[in-house]
Amino acid sequence: MEETHDNDALPNNKPSTEQDITDELELRSKKYRRGEGANVKGLKDKKLRSQMLAREKLYGETAIVAAKTEKWIMPSEAGYIEPEGIEKTDTIKQDAIAREVDIASLRNQYDITLPEFGPYTLDFTSSGRYMALGGRKGHLAIVDMMNLSLIRDFQVRETVRDVVFLHNELFFAAAQKKYLYIYSREGTELHCLKEHGSVLKLQFLKNHFLLASTNNYGMLLYQDVTMGAIVGKYRTGLGRTNVMQVNPYNAVVSLGHSAGTVTMWKPTSSSPLVKMLCHQGPVSALAFHSNGHIMATAGVDKKIKLWDLRKYEAFQTLPGYANTLEFSQKGFLACGTNSYLQVLRDVSGAQNYSRYMTHSMAKGYQIGKLAFRPYEDVLCIGHSMGYSSIIIPGAGEPNFDSWVANPFETPKQRSEKEIKALLDKLPPETIMLDPSKIGTVKDTKKEKLTAQEREEEMEAAIEAVKSKKLKKKTKGRSKAGKIMPKKQDAIANAKRPFLEQKIQEEKNISRKKQKTNEGVELPRSLQRFAHRKPSS
Q: What is the DSSP string of 416-468?
A: HHHHHHHHTPPPGGG--S-GGGTTSPPP-PPPPPPHHHHHHHHHHHHHHHHHS
User: How would you label 174-191 residue by residue, b for 16+ Cβ within 10 Å and e otherwise?
Assistant: bbbeebbbbbebeeeeee
Higher pLDDT among residues 462 and 294, named by residue:
294
Residue 343 pLDDT exceeds 80 = yes
Predicted pLDDT at 56:
85
Predicted pLDDT at 8:
45
**For 160-195, what is each residue's pLDDT tens digit?**
999 999 999 999 999 999 999 999 999 999 999 999
| Residues forming a β-bridge with 316 | 306
In angstroms, the CA 258 to CA 275 distance is 13
Predicted pLDDT at 518:
62
Strand order in the sheet with 130-135: 120-124, 130-135, 139-144, 149-155
Q: What integer best gives the mean pLDDT of the chain? A: 85
Give all domains of the chain, ordered by start, each with its CATH number: 89-422 (2.130.10.10)
Predicted pLDDT at 405:
86
Residue 130 pLDDT exceeds 70 = yes
In angstroms, the CA 494 to CA 465 distance is 8
In this prediction, residue 11 has a pLDDT band, given cuts at 50, 70 and 90, of: very low
In angstroms, the CA 529 to CA 535 distance is 17
**For 138-163, what is each residue's pLDDT tens digit?**
999 999 998 889 999 999 999 999 99
In this prediction, residue 69 has a pLDDT band, given cuts at 50, 70 and 90, of: confident
The angle that helices 480-519 and 451-467 make with each other, rounded to 10 degrees, is: 160
Q: For 129-143, 152-166, 317-331, 513-527, which range has the lowest pLDDT when averaged over its residues?
A: 513-527
| Residues forming a β-bridge with 2 | 82
Q: What is the number of other CB atoms lying within 10 angstroms of the CB of residue 337? A: 18
Predicted pLDDT at 323:
93
Predicted pLDDT at 9:
46
In angstroms, the CA 122 to CA 135 distance is 9
Average pLDDT (439-468) is 74
Predicted pLDDT at 6:
46
**292 close to 249: Cβ distance less than 8 angstroms:** yes
Predicted pLDDT at 475:
65
State which H helix or E strand residue 66 sits in: helix 46-68
Predicted pLDDT at 5:
47
Average pLDDT (328-353) is 90
In this prediction, residue 532 has a pLDDT band, given cuts at 50, 70 and 90, of: low
**254 close to 264: Cβ distance less than 8 angstroms:** yes
In angstroms, the CA 24 to CA 18 distance is 10
Average pLDDT (58-80) is 78
**Percentage of the residues of the chain whose pLDDT score is greater than 90:** 49
Average pLDDT (244-265) is 94
- Which amino acid would we find at residue 322? A
Of residues 461, 521, 470, the one with CA closest to residue 496: 461
In angstroms, the CA 464 to CA 270 distance is 16
| Residues forming a β-bridge with 219 | 235
DSSP 8-state class, residue 354 = E
Residue 507 pLDDT exceeds 90 = no
**For 353-376, what is each residue's pLDDT tens digit?**
999 999 999 888 999 999 999 999
Phi and psi at residue 111, in whole multiples of 5°? -140, 110
| Total-model pTM | 0.72
Q: For 21-35, 133-147, 394-408, which range has the lowest pLDDT when averaged over its residues?
A: 21-35
CB neighbour class for 453 (10 Å; exposed up to 12, middle 13-18, buried from 19): exposed
Residue 202 pLDDT exceeds 70 = yes
CB neighbour class for 292 (10 Å; exposed up to 12, middle 13-18, buried from 19): middle
Predicted pLDDT at 531:
66
Residue 120 pLDDT exceeds 70 = yes
In this prediction, residue 241 has a pLDDT band, given cuts at 50, 70 and 90, of: very high
Residue 425 pLDDT exceeds 70 = yes
Average pLDDT (121-149) is 93
Predicted pLDDT at 366:
92
